[in-house]
Structure 1
Amino acid sequence: MAVESGSFFIRRKKTSEARGKKRKAEDGKDKVRKKFAPKLNEEISSDSETESAAHKKKVAESLEIEETAQEKKLRLAKLYLEQLREEEQEKAEEEQLENDLIGGRLEEDVLEQKGKLKRLVAKDYLPPDVSEIRLLRGHQLAITCLVLSPDDKHVFSASKDCSIIKWDIANGKKVHTIRGGHKGKEDQHVRHTMHILSMAISSDGKYLATGDRNKLILIWDAATCQHLHTFKGHKDVVSGLSFRKGTHQLYSASHDRSVKVWNVDQNAYVETLFGHQDAITGLDSLSRERCVTSGGRDRTVRIWKIAEEAQLVFHGHESSIDCIQLINEENMVSGADDGSLALWTVTKKKPLVTVKAAHGIQGDPGIEQPNWITSVAALLNSDLIASGASSCSQNSQIRLWKCGEGFKRLDPLFDIPVVGFVNCLKFSNSGDFLVAGVGQEHRLGRWWRLKEAKNGICIIPLKKTMN
């Protein structure tokens, strides 16, 4: 029994020793793992961003495990409150910005109605690169009038060849052409059969109106160029057209010395206004229920107050006033065949300033004549205007001007050389380019002809200084 008992204790001892060796071996393996673990971790973090992100996620999860339930709730509540605060702050900033924009727009609208909105932009313009001017050709005879669509994407032009062309400004291609008809066959087609001298487009771009020497006003769908209606009533050439801004009320002027008012939506005649003593050569209007006209050789500018059935008469030019344009609701610019350019305000019957021979003088000594101003344009509610002239030589040009303080000065900025009669000018609404209708002849007649000129539309990009 004693021997057996001793062997039992010996076995137990051996078993415990084996277990101890096994435990030491396992401890040794752990030490080896720990020894190499840092190196393995370094290699993984440098070679794999994905595993690094996974490692961070495990660390974050371990931190969450260490959090108590109450601490986790508190942390999540703080995050939620912080998110709500950021969202409310962003919402408040957006509302403030929107209110500022609305307030600024309303303030501009009020100033515009009062004629006191004036953007001082003329000083920022630089002479254009002549090589960048594009000439769009499609009319056979002189361009007489043009208008731009409200989005500045299209220009409509008309000519003495009785045609109307809608152009894409971006690529310079024709979008649609309305060809002229044959005189005496008006009952067979709806087209112009005599020189088109005036054109207007509504401020929403819906209607296009054109007037001709045949005493007719044709209304077109500006998008499709389909004929909608014809107005009859003038007894002579329709020389001026303008839509009242924000409406479909149309004003027309004629060589019969009258101004007529039409409602295009209802295809209806409204009334006729008389007062000029000579053929009316130009007409313009803005948002007020009034229009302004130039009276040719009666040498007057008139403002027609439609609602009051009254008119204001202005004197200043010494020769025929051939073109006129509103700068804002209170100021306007006009040009005459004696080369004079004048700025006006509705509160004074005389020009605020008149520039004699604004485009220089031509001819031999003793028989010099000022270059004839044939068109004017204004960048709406700004201090920038343009004038176009013609001469018996190739010295025709477009000149840009800066209106001085209170519209009491006109300072020339730079000239843009062109060849031919500059019969019409329009600034884009953005002020990024100027469009000129050029022809071999004057739009109202054929006193002389420049064979060197090309009948076409000039797209003139305008450069600005970087502020």
Structure 2
Amino acid sequence: MAAASGSFFIRKRKVVEGQGRKKKGEDGEVKVRKKLPTKLNEEISSDSETESVEHNNKDAEELEIEETAQEKKLRLAKLYLEQLRREEEERAEEEQFKGDSIGGRLEEEVLEQKGKLKRLVAKYYVPPDISEIRLLRGHQLPVTCLVVSPDDKYIFSASKDCSIIKWDVSCGKKLHTIHRGQEGAEDRHLGHILSMAISSDGKYLATGDRNKLILIWNPATCQHHHTFKGHKDAVSGLSFRKGTHQLYSASHDRSVKVWNVDQNAYVETLFGHQDAITGLDSLSRERCVTAGGRDRTVRIWKIVEESQLVFHGHESSIDCIQLINEEYMVSGADDGSLALWTVTKKKPLVTVKTAHGIHGDPGLQQPNWITSVTALLNSDLVASGSHDSKIRLWKCGEGFKSLELLFDIPVVGFVNSLKFSSSGDFLVAGMGQEHKLGRWWRLKEAKNGICIISLKKTETKQQPGTINSCDENN
């Protein structure tokens, strides 16, 4: 073939006669082992890649021809054994992962039952997309309180206009409105609604107002169930004991009352605060925690023991309080301070002064009040609200001995109430032009309603140490 024809030449070294040697196998089969060329010298002129591919295929075929049936069986057997080994390793990894997952869940359940579970999740949260913040309007006056249903599907909000609205979280629509009642009626509110709570099974909704009444509702139908009377002043705090239908209520009359909602019965009254109680919370244990307003105390009421623990730390009126778990809690005051407590120490573990900054003219500056606080249950994530056009998210630092600011969420108006969803996927804020307890000043640019803030997280793959229990000596 002429070199000018455009084809290519392949020079292949031939096996020299006698270079291969015959060997008789155990089965009597004669096989020839040839020494393979160490390198195939190829000279490719350019035109056709298909001829090169055909040539490589021929080389492969030649190599296959040299493999005897016995060698092929051996090779396939090794491949099969390797495949079985890999499958076994993968199965072992899956079983270990499942075991770790089950063990982790059991550990969480045990710690949660003891009230010592701390999920270290705050570090995964990042600032939300402002464009995704939804403002739902329906109340005519400032929103004063709200709750999220246990399944995170619904929000119940109440207002100074004495109405209650049930919202659908997914679409933001009003599902039902309970309007202000007629004079003399006891199945509707006639005064500003100041407090709200929902049972952990979603069976009962409780609301308290300035007219000293506590109304119980069916959250599914929004029908009135019962009215409790007994307080001598505004009902400022409500909380269901988790896993039960035992209801705690706090009032400006300085008392805490215990009710049995299943039996529509009054149980007992607790006294101790020296000023109007401004906030109340409870979890699974038969106890509750209260903020005593201008008596500047936080109190834990041990119902069974008929005793109370008194905590001091804020220098001004304590306006809001929330339990993080059974061992830790967070509170806010009208001097702008935010405090983190443990139930075993009578002083705060840490206090952040002017947590929301200051306002006013130079020389007349005042701290922005902390109007609401909340915590993602059994975690290290805390949120606080004021009237400084922002909600602040905080991380409880190592050992829960510090509060570290994560980021701000812009909002306009008084943040009168804050609640995390149980999943931690969103935060709800009850907004108003005025403070929920009075009209000291008014923010005209604000809108009365509720803000649903979708929270974003980075990768939350379980890491060692993500689940912690509270220190036994705390």
**TM-score, length-normalised on structure 1?**
0.77
In structure 2, what is the Cα distance between the partners aligned to 1:202 and 1:98? Answer: 33
The answer to whether structure 1 residue 265 and structure 2 residue 258 are counterparts is no
- Structure with greater helix share of residues: 1
Question: In structure 2, what is the equivalent of residue 396 of structure 1?
Answer: 389
In structure 2, what is the Cα distance between the partners aligned to 1:95 and 1:212? Answer: 55
The answer to whether structure 1 residue 303 and structure 2 residue 307 are counterparts is no
In structure 2, what is the Cα distance between the partners aligned to 1:311 and 1:195? Answer: 30
In structure 2, what is the Cα distance between the partners aligned to 1:213 and 1:236? Answer: 7
In structure 2, what is the Cα distance between the partners aligned to 1:250 and 1:306? Answer: 12
In structure 1, what is the Cα distance between the partners aligned to 2:418 and 2:245? Answer: 23
The answer to whether structure 1 residue 456 and structure 2 residue 453 are counterparts is no
Question: In structure 2, what is the equivalent of residue 173 of structure 1?
Answer: 173
Question: In structure 1, what is the equivalent of residue 157 of structure 2?
Answer: 157
Question: In structure 2, what is the equivalent of residue 193 of structure 1?
Answer: 190
- Would you say the 8 A contact 1:113–1:288 is kept in 2? no
Question: In structure 2, what is the equivalent of residue 316 of structure 1?
Answer: 313
Shift of 1:93: 11
In structure 1, what is the Cα distance between the partners aligned to 2:324 and 2:256? Answer: 21
Letter in 2 for 1:463: K
Identity %: 85
Residue 405 of structure 1, aligned match among 398, 406, 411: 398
Q: What secondary structure does 1:280 align onto?
A: coil
Question: In structure 1, what is the equivalent of residue 218 of structure 2?
Answer: 221
Shift of 1:115: 3.3
Letter in 2 for 1:186: A
Q: What secondary structure does 1:452 align onto?
A: coil
Question: In structure 2, what is the equivalent of residue 414 of structure 1?
Answer: 407
The answer to whether structure 1 residue 430 and structure 2 residue 423 are counterparts is yes
What per-residue deviation string (whole Å, max 9, x for no partner) do you get for residues 402-449 of structure 1? 100121111101111111100000011111110000001111111111
Shift of 1:99: 7.2
In structure 2, what is the Cα distance between the partners aligned to 1:343 and 1:197? Answer: 24
Alignment of 1:32-431 (within 5 A): 103-182=103-182, 184-186=183-185, 190-390=187-387, 395-431=388-424
What RMSD, in angstroms, separates the aligned Cα atoms of the two structures?
1.9
Question: In structure 2, what is the equivalent of residue 53 of structure 1?
Answer: none
Question: In structure 2, what is the equivalent of residue 439 of structure 1?
Answer: 432
What per-residue deviation string (whole Å, max 9, x for no partner) do you get for residues 259-293 of structure 1? 00001111111100000000000000000110000
In structure 1, what is the Cα distance between the partners aligned to 2:190 and 2:442? Answer: 22
Shift of 1:116: 2.5
In structure 2, what is the Cα distance between the partners aligned to 1:448 and 1:377? Answer: 24
In structure 1, what is the Cα distance between the partners aligned to 2:406 and 2:150? Answer: 26
What per-residue deviation string (whole Å, max 9, x for no partner) do you get for residues 196-222 of structure 1? 000000000110000000100000011
In structure 1, what is the Cα distance between the partners aligned to 2:106 and 2:267? Answer: 31
Q: What secondary structure does 2:394 align onto?
A: strand
Q: What secondary structure does 1:110 align onto?
A: helix
Letter in 1 for 2:430: G
In structure 2, what is the Cα distance between the partners aligned to 1:231 and 1:101? Answer: 45
- Would you say the 8 A contact 1:422–1:439 is kept in 2? yes
- Would you say the 8 A contact 1:114–1:330 is kept in 2? no
- Would you say the 8 A contact 1:440–1:449 is kept in 2? yes
In structure 2, what is the Cα distance between the partners aligned to 1:204 and 1:363? Answer: 45
What per-residue deviation string (whole Å, max 9, x for no partner) do you get for residues 340-376 of structure 1? 0000000000000000000011111111111111000
In structure 2, what is the Cα distance between the partners aligned to 1:283 and 1:248? Answer: 16
- Would you say the 8 A contact 1:113–1:329 is kept in 2? no
Specify every segment of 5 or more residues in structure 1 that has no aligned partner in the other structure, as ranges.
Answer: 1-85
Letter in 1 for 2:205: L
- Would you say the 8 A contact 1:199–1:240 is kept in 2? yes
In structure 2, what is the Cα distance between the partners aligned to 1:97 and 1:229? Answer: 49
Taking structure 1 as reference, are residues 364 and 163 closer, same or farther at Cα in structure 2, changes over 3 Å only?
Answer: same
**What is the count of residue pairs matched by the alignment?**
372
Letter in 1 for 2:283: L
Q: What secondary structure does 1:318 align onto?
A: coil
In structure 1, what is the Cα distance between the partners aligned to 2:438 and 2:250? Answer: 17
Letter in 2 for 1:230: T
Taking structure 1 as reference, are residues 185 and 282 closer, same or farther at Cα in structure 2, changes over 3 Å only?
Answer: same
What per-residue deviation string (whole Å, max 9, x for no partner) do you get for residues 150-188 of structure 1? 010000000000000000000000111100113x3326x
In structure 1, what is the Cα distance between the partners aligned to 2:306 and 2:219? Answer: 31
